[in-house]
A and B are shown apart, each in its own frame.
Chain A
Amino acid sequence: MTASLTRREALAAGFGTVLLPATLSAQPAAKPAEFKIGVTTFLSGPASVFGVPSRKACEMLVDQINAAGGIAGVPLRATFVDEAPGTDHLVGEFRRLVQSEGVHAMFQSISSGSCLACTPLSRELQKLTILWDCGTQRIFEENRWEYAFRTQGYGTPEILAPLLYLLKKKPDFRTVAVINQDYAWGRDSWELWKAGMDALKPGVRVVAEMFPRFGSTDFSTEITRLLALRPDVILSTSWGGELVTFVRQATERRLHERSTFVLPVAEASLPTLGRSMPEGHIIGTRGDHWNNHPAPANPQLFNEFVTAYRTRFNEWPIYPCHHMAQAIWALKAGVEKAVAAKSGGWPSDLEMANAFRGLTFPTPTSTITLREDGQGLEDQIVGLSSFNDRFPFSVPKEMIQFTGAQVSAPVGQKSTDWLKTLKPDMIASSGRSIG
């Protein structure tokens, strides 16, 4: 049997397909019995060192928020999806959660590849999407998204801040080597570093660019080469077990006595490294949420979050926990703002998303503002590895705080282009010592 459409029916169907979702998204919505969020994170594979703690933080905060009455009187419910099977799987899960499970907001993802694959769905499905951890600069520099927002910093400030710190603290270096994981973040972060370094300190010689296979468990050959080359600075944006392995193998062979390490993502690995982390090397945390932050904006809230997490899970929270918390606090602030704008009525998806543009929400350490392009401005704190009596692992000293606006590419500019325009006087003018 075949069905045929008249021209009028076809036109009506076409208009319906295009216009109906937009019309529906602007319709007044009923207050839901629960606010469902779909959370994509790594629950398996090497990146589960980030994903599992972030899920724990999410579960803890959802419990806390629900115990306090929910968001705008609506309890939260989180559904988790594993990023590890890959982007095809994740795109399907994103659709399923929105179209079948009826989630009200999506939280994605740790992997930049996941974010690049799924963010377009926020527009197609017209669903509020919060990018809670991925760092690629491409998301908001190459497109404008109506429903997508990132509630933390991104690669550019997370790389530029340690570079500025290095230039302030140890400005006399002449040679640099890089050893990064061989995937998007490892390559992109090096490109950002190189662009910034060439602008802020021209003439530095790159003596080795090494990108060992993702998931490598032995860096002894790379370390031998670095020992032979004796670079002044060794940059590594690696994370997880690979960073732990590299630092342990390197310190055992006294590489840290020949070169200064710059480790922008070190914080998450420091509890595992314990006393093995050598002192006096540059460490970052993809934000400002160090456990020894000397002056958090809300010390009580900061202490409550850290204590609650430690009590419940018997481990220190690491930066993905803080990023997840930021996303949930942003969600709370945004939804409450949207509900207030409707005088207590429940907002549509579009109204909900509009409430996030320009939103400023408090975190325990600072405040974060979501710019007009959807990108969050998160402060960065960088310091030198050190030990004190309070922590059984390395924490930073001689910390310098860089505001998010100082180290992020302005709206409308691409990071690599912007980094090339930086002038050396930025080294003195940016950042302030906080302890």
Chain B
Amino acid sequence: MAEWFQDNGLLLGLALLDGLSSAGLIFLVAVGLNLVFGVLRIINVAHGSLYAIGAYSAASIGIFLSGLGLPDWAAVPTLILSAALVGAILGPLIERFLLRRIYAQEEVVQLLVTFALFMILEDVQKLIWGVQPIHHDTAMRALGTIDVPFGADFIPFTNYQLFVLPGIAIVTLVGLALFLRRTLTGRVIVAVTTDREAASAMGIDAAKIFLLTFTFGAMLAALGGALSSPTAALVPGIGAQTIVLSFAVVATAGLGQIEGAALTSLMMGLGRSIAVYFEPELEVVVPYIIMVLVLLVRPQGLFGVIETRRV
């Protein structure tokens, strides 16, 4: 083992750096999905569409503002603001006019409705942005690269992927944890998550909390998409790719668990990048292997709690 580390230690170090940025993006999308499920108890398949629309909108707004002469340093704040804009518009629209009508329906109906919404939004994306790849990488280019020593050699990393993505993910995690535990609104959300009926009985306006939470979840999905847009070409189908992995994170973390989503994203991000270095054929399945192993040992997820079935 010591010999293996001596031979591959440097590669493992590179894999850890790669895994961090990957984990950051996974977390941002998955935590929104987890939050929405925790409060609304709806598995929102359209979360992937919000990710995609967040990415497309951020690229479009960035291209538009660049045309107006926006300085490069403003590219990252623009990504965050455009994600907030997408979430603030689409979140209330979807919750108010669609989800609110199906809260009392069976889970399968809820799943079908959000899946239908996902399909509709996929077509809407094609109508608005077409099918050719779109990209806008000012944010990545503006921040430049850093040369990481690698034995006698060096490896260039982009500062955006090495610092910005993990940094925003950490800020989101800490901010979300503080918001949920230290603010009244956050505690109300936790109360609704823990026991919706009891919270309502105590006078909490569940409808308001649902709207707030879904909008916030939509913003997080859009933020994940917006932050991915400087590094990826945007094409039809990116939402579908993302939602599958996000579901794996949510299932592994435990439904409604914020810290669980962070740890699981980190495990999956690192797992995937280590696989690329040492067993590339396993890269695709690593997240799902992690999910299966965790669920075999803890069916409720890493941080999930076993709920008593109420009759």
- Cβ of B283 and Cβ of A213 under 8 Å apart? yes
**Quick check: is B198 within 8 A (CB to CB) of the other chain?**
no
B1-19 with Cβ < 8 A to chain A: 10-11, 14-15, 17-19
Q: Check if B131 sits within 8 Å of A49, measured CB to CB.
A: yes
User: B270-306 interface mask toward A, CB cutoff 8 Å, 1 = contact, 0 = none?
Assistant: 0011001100110110000000000000000000000
Pair A224/B155 contact, Cβ less than 8 Å: yes
Are A254 and B156 closer than 8 Å at their CB atoms?
A: yes
Contact B284 A182, beta carbon cutoff 8 Å: yes
Contact between chains at B18 and A48 (CB < 8 Å): no
Interface residues of A toward B: which range?
A: 35 or more
B238 near A221: Cβ-Cβ < 8 Å: no
User: For the complex, what is the distance from the CA of A34 to the CA of B67, rounded to whole Å?
Assistant: 49
Give residues of chain A (239-264) contacting chain B, Cβ–Cβ below 8 Å.
Answer: 240-242, 244-245, 248-249, 252-254
Instruction: Establish whether residues B133 and A244, one from each chain, have CB atoms under 8 Å apart when the complex forms.
Output: yes
Q: Assess the A227–B237 pair: CB atoms within 8 A.
A: no
The CB with the most chain A CB atoms within 10 A, among B14, B126, B156, is that of B156
Please indicate the chain B residues that have their CB under 8 angstroms from the CB of A240 in the complex.
133, 233, 235
- Quick one: which of B22, B145, B233 contacts A272, CB cutoff 8 A? B233
Any A CB within 8 A of the CB of B167: no
Q: In the complex, which residues of chain A have a beta carbon less than 8 angstroms from the beta carbon of B135?
A: 244-245, 248, 272
In the assembled complex, how far is the CB of residue B130 from the closest CB belonging to chain A, in whole angstroms?
A: 8
**Contact call B228/A220, Cβ cutoff below 8 A:** no
How many Å lie between the Cα of A52 and that of B277 in the bound state? Answer: 36
A272 to B18, CA, bound (A): 26
**A215, CB-defined interface residue at 8 Å:** yes
The CA of A249 and the CA of B241, in the complex, are separated in Å by: 19
Residues of A near B134 (CB, < 8 A) are 272
Q: Is A222 an interface residue, CB under 8 A from the partner?
A: yes
Q: Is the CB of B15 within 8 A of A253?
A: no
Cross-chain contact A48 with B283 (CB below 8 angstroms) = no
Instruction: List A contacts of B140 (CB < 8 A).
Output: 252
Asked if B105 is an interface residue, CB under 8 A from chain A, the answer is no
Q: Is B150 an interface residue (CB 8 A)?
A: yes
Q: Is residue A211 contacting chain B, with contact meaning CB distance below 8 A?
A: yes
- CB proximity of A6 to chain B, nearest CB, Å: 52
Say whether A217 contacts B238, CB under 8 Å. Answer: yes
The 0/1 profile, CB within 8 Å of A marked 1, for residues 45-61 of chain B is 00000000000000000
Q: Which residues 107-139 of B sit at the A interface, judged by CB distance below 8 A? A: 122-123, 126, 130-135, 137
- Distance (Å) between the CB of B247 and the closest chain A CB? 16
A52: chain B residues within 8 A (beta carbon): 130-131
| Secondary structure call for the A interface | helix
Residues on the B chain within 8 Å of A227, using CB: 155-156
Contact digits for A42-56, partner B, Cβ 8 Å, 1 yes 0 no: 001110110111000
Question: Whose C-beta in chain A lies nearest to the C-beta of B228?
Answer: A217
Question: Which A residues between 37 and 83 are near B, CB-CB below 8 angstroms?
Answer: 44-46, 48-49, 51-53
Kindly identify which residue among B11, B130, B240, B276 contacts A222, using a CB–CB cutoff of 8 Å.
Answer: B276
Q: What sequence of 0s and 1s flags, for each residue 204-215 of chain A, a beta carbon within 8 Å of any chain B beta carbon? A: 000011111101
Query: In the assembly, what is the distance between CA of A252 and CA of B140, in Å?
Result: 8
**A132 CA / B228 CA spacing, docked (Å):** 35
CA distance A242 to B235 in the complex (A): 9
Once the chains are docked, how many angstroms separate the CA of A52 from the CA of B126?
11
A residues less than 8 Å from B158 (CB atoms): 220, 252-253
Q: Which of A262-297 contact B (CB under 8 A)?
A: 269, 271-272
Bound together, the chains give a CA A144 to CA B158 distance in angstroms of 52
A253, B156: Cβ atoms closer than 8 Å: yes
Q: Tell me, rounded to whole Å, the shortest Cβ–Cβ distance linking A346 to chain B.
A: 38
Q: Which residues of A contact B280 (CB under 8 A)?
A: 208-211
CA distance A208 to B283 in the complex (A): 14
Q: Is B186 an interface residue (CB 8 A)?
A: no
Cα distance A253–B143 when bound, in Å? 12
Task: List 19 A-B residue pairs with CB atoms under 8 Å apart, sorted by A's residue number.
Answer: A44-B122, A45-B237, A46-B235, A49-B131, A49-B133, A49-B235, A52-B131, A213-B241, A215-B237, A218-B25, A220-B231, A228-B10, A228-B11, A242-B233, A244-B133, A244-B135, A245-B231, A252-B137, A253-B157
**A-B pairs with lowest CB-CB distance, top 8:** A241-B235, A244-B233, A241-B233, A217-B232, A221-B18, A241-B133, A48-B131, A221-B273
A-side residues, CB < 8 A to B, are 44-46, 48-49, 51-53, 182, 208-213, 215-218, 220-222, 224-225, 227-228, 230, 240-242, 244-245, 248-249, 252-254, 269, 271-272, 315
